[in-house]
Amino acid sequence: MSEDVKSVSMWEGLPQWTSVMGGGLFLLLLVGFLFSNERGVLGDHFQLLSPFKIKQVKISSEWPVAVSEVKSWLPILEGKSLVAVSAADLISNLEKRPWIEHVTIKKQYPDHLWIEVETKRPQALSVFKGIAYFMDSKGNIIEKARPNLLKTLDLPFLSFTAEREKWNVPKVLSMGDQFKVLARSKYSISQIILGNYPYFKIFLENPKLEVLLNIENWESQSKVLETLLLDPPSQIQQLQRINLMFPKKAVVSIHN
């Protein structure tokens, strides 16, 4: 007696839904791969195929950079693929602008893009070749001083008389911030003059007062300065000048 022998594939016995799962898994892997690449494997053509079209770009910005100004620096983003838009390129473009300190970009799927702009904090004014510029806390130029901002900001003028290359400008500017705390808003600095290193002077307003300092012992002398400014001995009249250039010594001049 003979029997017919039939070869059966191992897949024929499995339910039909496994092919559906296989197709779904493939799509998930494909989408995951596209998301892992900002521009996608299809490059610019992916813009046409992407289901994630940008419907809203939300921008927040700090003073003095207006949201409208930030928007004018950006390419048209509405209608573009949220996947294909390069956050790195947008950040690089914005951080080249004068006032921009830091940019954060978030993609909210399926169709929102969030852009948050942090701005630099001007610490002083300085004149270069006859033109006044805003300076940040690192001593770098922000931009040319605009009259409308000058009226808003109360910044000291920073100038050099000699040995500019020796001065650590960020350290000097941070000293200015410490002084504001020390003086408890009773005085404000109107000018900082950096002379022969390590000696410098500051001019105070309300009332006017000249203070001579040594950047190398400034911190150790700060308590002496605080006492003379906020609680001077009763026998001392209105101060005109305080000389703290030398360690553990204060020379005071008064108005006649």
Q: What is the mean pLDDT of residues 25-30?
A: 56
Higher confidence at residue 8 or residue 122? Answer: 122
CATH number, domain containing residue 65: 3.10.20.310
CATH number, domain containing residue 219: 3.40.50
Last residue of a domain, one of 69, 95, 119: 119
Which of 17-26, 35-44, 92-101, 220-229 is least confident?
35-44
* Residue 40 lies inside a defined structural domain of this protein: no
* Residue 4 lies inside a defined structural domain of this protein: no
* Residue 157 lies inside a defined structural domain of this protein: yes
Q: 186-239: per-residue pLDDT in tens? A: 888 999 999 999 999 999 987 789 999 999 988 888 888 888 888 877 666 678
* Cβ contact 227:236 at 8 Å: no
Which of 64-78, 153-167, 240-254 is least confident?
240-254
Q: What is the mean pLDDT of residues 232-253?
A: 79
Give me the domain span that covers residue 243.
124-254
* Cβ contact 73:97 at 8 Å: yes
The chain-wide mean pLDDT, for the chain, equals 82
Do 248 and 135 share a structural domain?
A: yes
Q: What is the mean pLDDT of residues 236-250?
A: 80
Last residue of a domain, one of 67, 93, 119: 119
* Residue 26 lies inside a defined structural domain of this protein: no
Residue 19's pLDDT band (cuts 50, 70, 90): low
pLDDT for 27: 57
Do 242 and 173 share a structural domain?
A: yes
Share of the chain above pLDDT 90, in %: 48
- Judged on CB neighbours under 10 Å (0-12, 13-18, 19+), 222 is middle
Domain count, the chain: 2
Higher confidence at residue 50 or residue 174? Answer: 174
* Cβ contact 226:241 at 8 Å: no
Do 128 and 211 share a structural domain?
A: yes
pLDDT for 240: 87
Which of 114-118, 204-208, 242-246 is least confident?
204-208
* Residue 20 lies inside a defined structural domain of this protein: no
Beta bridge partners of 139: none
What is the C-alpha separation between 21 and 201, in angstroms, rounded? 77
The whole model's pTM is what? 0.71
Q: 50-82: per-residue pLDDT in tens? A: 678 999 999 999 999 999 999 999 999 999 999
Residue 48's pLDDT band (cuts 50, 70, 90): low
Last residue of a domain, one of 92, 119, 146: 119
**3-class DSSP state for residue 16?**
coil
